Structure 1
Amino acid sequence: MFEAHLPMTRRSLLERSGMGMGALALAGLFHDQESREARAASGADAAVTETEKKPHFPGRVKRVIHFFLNGGPSHVDTFDPKPALEKYAGQPAPVNLTTERKTGAAFPSPFKFQKYGQSGLEISEIFSKTAAHADDIAVIRSMYAHVPNHEPSLMLMNCGDSVQPRPSVGAWVLYGLGTENRNLPGFVAMCPNGLPIKDSENWQSGFLPGVYQGTYVDPRHQLIDKLIENIRSPHATAGMQRRQLDLLRSLNAEHRDVRVDTRLEARIQSFELAFRMQTEAADAFDISKEPKHIQELYGAGVHARQTLIARRLLERGVRYVQLWHGAGQPWDNHSGIESAHRQLAGEIDQPIAALMTDLKQRGMFEDTLIVFGGEFGRTPTVELAGDGKALLGRDHNHYGFSVWLAGGGVRGGTAYGATDEFGFKAVEKPTSPHDLHATILHLLGFDHERLTYRYAGRDFRLTDVHGQVIHEILS
């Protein structure tokens, strides 16, 4: 009598109708997991294999690696040269520049720009190694965000909304495509010195089932127990853990069958994935197995290490890997931008170039998408201290900045859109993060307007009610 009034899942209906054997057979077809239909009936949707999830149309790429430069790198010092700043150096810019903090005269870049490749794409000297791949890179020089503040702009770039926490891009990609490797998380976020963004919204699953949330990894560590928290049990052997999980799974399944609780399904899948990862993850994160010449190609340091790990994850079927840079020392250089940007770029220039070379020689470049950028740019004018003294840095600038893409389906050697002659505001083909997200999903084979999830009575999507695919940067 107690259970009679509770919601009944399709699985429960089958079992109670004397068709339990059919339900068991169906579960077997899905690698011993509950059938996807049964999960959907209870409002849950666990991570599934590649054969179970297909894009809307054949995608040009099947995996993404996203280099995220936390703090706001200066576009006029990296990928958007502005000769006019030299002309007006030390003078007030002849346009009204609205900035968050007090700024002064035009501040020319301390770095030299040079044309690279057959395309002649202009790139700063601090990314000279990456620039060797200029003919593979499409720079969007007309990005804009909503506000000049880090947290909302981080959420906008990573989750498509600057106000309310939403599922991150990686979570949407995993939701749409599933994962090719059931023994590894489909979405990994690596962030050295992860706090305070370790627990941030930027790799969350939001209202999507929890199985699509990014798995946080601190690549400073080499032991798997340190890399991924709580990956091993200090008290139980593998056999004991398997028996414990089987019991827990059966109890949870009983509980779930008479309730609608997506969090419980996510917890079940999380336990199972963690158990399987104990063997496969240890191998995937062990870069000592790479030949010496490959390790030397990527260079030394934690960012070289995490980039090489990322390549190992991608070739093992991980869908979306996000590599954060600037968590400990961000690209938020309000003062001393010359030395700070040179050091920061020096930490990732070689690893990025190495990754592109490595992907090409492994035949993976054509079906991998590389995304590079931060949450906004910086002002073309110099920031001033309270006493009016120049700090030789730049303030936040959300009116115009740069992001670049490379890999499968990208028209390399391309500069799309433009900021004004000083680099302050996007004036030619202004591009929002929604447009960027629509383009990423398009390359993966999705119509961004059709990749939706029903929540709170409406169909949500990554791009909300916005977004246009940037066809001009696609090959």
Structure 2
Amino acid sequence: MTAFSPVHPRLPRRHALQAGSIGLLGLGMNHVTALRAADAVPQTDAPPARSVIYIFLSGGLGQHDSFDMKPDAPEEIRGEFRPISTSTPGTQICEHLPRLAQRSHLWSLVRSLTHPYNEHSQGHMVMLSGRSKLPPTFNAAKPTPLDWPSIAAIAGDQTVPRNNLPPAVALPERLVHRTGRVIPGQFAGVMGSRRDPWFIEAAPFNGTTYGAFPEYEFHHARGPENRDGLKFQAPNLTLPEGLGRSRVDRRLDLLRHVEEQRVALEQAAPIQQFDQYRQAAISLLSDPSVRHAFDVVNADDDVQDRYGRNSFGWSLLMARRLVEAGVNLVQVNLGNNETWDTHGNAFPHLKDQLYPPTDRALAALLDDLHERGMLESTLIVVAGEFGRTPKTSLLPRHYAQPGRDHWGGVQTVLLAGGGVKGGRVIGSSDKQGAYPADDPQRPENLAATIYQALGLPATAAWNDDLGRPHHIFHGDPIGGLT
């Protein structure tokens, strides 16, 4: 472990969210809430409550095989899949995304997002931070303290908390390579680790298999597999055994559960604020909406059937519930260990393992938000760190069938809600699906679209420890979506 530790605010998967380990008592409320009150930029006119769900397809989704198909191109470019019509005349997407096709009136596409990087960590950095230029101390092997802050970290710092939950959450896991290497771009970086987003680690680290376990687990070379022991386990919002509510009310009884973390707290925030933020964290235990948000594996059968009984479905259900409970930005890392990195066997794995749970869960999310009247105030963004190469290729030493390699030249991003008009296509790629043909967009434009949806003004800035402002917007929001 290096001196820089990005895991401080995350919630260990098997630890109960209890009076001795919640909020500032180990959940990260000490730096997400208490420190914000001490050093955040005062906001007088709070924007209306608006939310974002940023669904990140780590590994990179192939544009040719999803939302920007090239049916008239040579076979090595168009691939094996065929397009189908959507509910929007003239717009076609992959035949293996039928539920999304039926709901195209709710979403729009940007087919011209581009950046110059073909390496995973570089792509993660620019797409998660919204900055095309790499940080001066960028290290693909690990996060560094001078990395650009992630969009989630900025949202957590700049938006107003609406309850005792942090304003920005990432789930169901940190982005970690199968070797255990933590991928840069997810954290607060130069803003300071105390402003990292809150990581809810509901999925165990798994460096062996990929995908939406347990239903759609697979290995890129060997095909469908099931690894025993993988369990999607959300935080348990219960009191420690033997600790009743009357004892919680008597705060002295709680001190023995938090003494080890008190020293760090006293160093991070004024001591006189201790009781205030401890009580804010404890109040999570009595908030039914918070308990309900996390308890996705025990959701009603019909809800789980709609979303899918797998890590993709549970993650998007949790995201919807967290937004409903008052979280401003939820980043959903849909797939462990660069799951979407389909160098080989791409077509059977997309068709049978990746698209079915994604199509089902994303359609259910759109339906739920729309039916609850939340879609207009909730922006959904679906993107990866890059697209895939125009031409398919075969690596016979590793795979039986072809796939596509990394490609930052262009990718398609899906957006819905948050004021986005459905049924639109912004920009286009060239005939090979290699580069933007018109209306190119950059990560800066996507980030600005997210910040605008959160109600942040174009002049918004975060302040460092010396009080110096740092601009948040580095580009204009994507035009033509609203």
Give the alignment partner of residue 452 of structure 1, picking from 427, 438, 462: 462
- The CA deviation at 1:371 is 0.6
Determine if the alignment matches structure 1 residue 411 to structure 2 residue 392: no
Give the alignment partner of residue 218 of structure 1, picking from 202, 205, 208: 202
Match of residue 67 from structure 1? 55
Q: How many pairs does the alignment contain? A: 404
Of 373-382 and 279-288, more deviation after overlay is shown by: 279-288
Point out where structure 2 has 5 or more consecutive residues left out of the alignment: 1-28, 139-146, 205-212, 214-230
Give the alignment partner of residue 304 of structure 1, picking from 308, 313, 318: 313
Return the TM-score normalized by structure 2.
Answer: 0.72
Contact 2:97 2:359 in 1 (8 A): yes
Alignment of 1:73-472 (within 5 A): 73-86=61-74, 89=75, 106-161=76-131, 162-163=134-135, 164=138, 165-182=147-164, 184-191=165-172, 195-196=176-177, 200-206=183-189, 207=191, 210=194, 213-219=197-203, 227-228=234-235, 239=247, 242-243=251-252, 274-280=281-287, 281-287=290-296, 290-328=299-337, 330-342=339-351, 343-385=353-395, 392-455=402-465, 458-463=468-473, 466-472=474-480
- The CA deviation at 1:72 is 0.5
Give the alignment partner of residue 44 of structure 1, picking from 39, 54, 65: 39
Kindly provide the amino acid, as one letter, of the partner of residue 438 in structure 2: E
Alpha-carbon distance between aligned partners in 1 of 2:273 and 2:202, rounded to the nearest angstrom:
23
Q: 3-state DSSP class of the match of 1:435? A: helix
Query: Percent identity of the aligned residues?
Result: 27
Match of residue 5 from structure 1? none
Q: 3-state DSSP class of the match of 1:73? A: coil
Return the TM-score normalized by structure 1.
Answer: 0.73
Residues 233 and 314 of structure 1, relative CA distance in 2, 3 Å threshold: same
Alpha-carbon distance between aligned partners in 2 of 1:179 and 1:458, rounded to the nearest angstrom:
23
Rg larger in structure: 1
Of 346-355 and 379-388, more deviation after overlay is shown by: 379-388
Kindly provide the amino acid, as one letter, of the partner of residue 44 in structure 1: D
1:358-381 deviation per Cα after TM superposition (whole angstroms, max 9, x unaligned) = 111111111111110101000111
Kindly provide the amino acid, as one letter, of the partner of residue 355 in structure 2: A
Kindly provide the amino acid, as one letter, of the partner of residue 76 in structure 1: H
- The CA deviation at 1:129 is 0.8
**Bigger share in helix:** 1
Q: 3-state DSSP class of the match of 2:69? A: coil
- The CA deviation at 1:411 is 1.9
Contact 2:328 2:454 in 1 (8 A): no
Alpha-carbon distance between aligned partners in 2 of 1:254 and 1:349, rounded to the nearest angstrom:
44
Residues 231 and 406 of structure 1, relative CA distance in 2, 3 Å threshold: same
Q: 3-state DSSP class of the match of 1:76? A: coil
Q: 3-state DSSP class of the match of 1:445? A: coil
Contact 2:111 2:427 in 1 (8 A): yes
1:295-323 deviation per Cα after TM superposition (whole angstroms, max 9, x unaligned) = 32223222112211222111111111121
Contact 2:187 2:193 in 1 (8 A): no
Contact 2:375 2:417 in 1 (8 A): yes
Residues 228 and 194 of structure 1, relative CA distance in 2, 3 Å threshold: farther
Point out where structure 1 has 5 or more consecutive residues left out of the alignment: 1-32, 90-105
1:155-210 deviation per Cα after TM superposition (whole angstroms, max 9, x unaligned) = 1111234334232212222222222121x233221135964489554442331572
Residues 253 and 338 of structure 1, relative CA distance in 2, 3 Å threshold: closer
When the two chains are superposed, the root-mean-square deviation of aligned CA atoms in Å is: 4.0
Alpha-carbon distance between aligned partners in 2 of 1:323 and 1:181, rounded to the nearest angstrom:
20
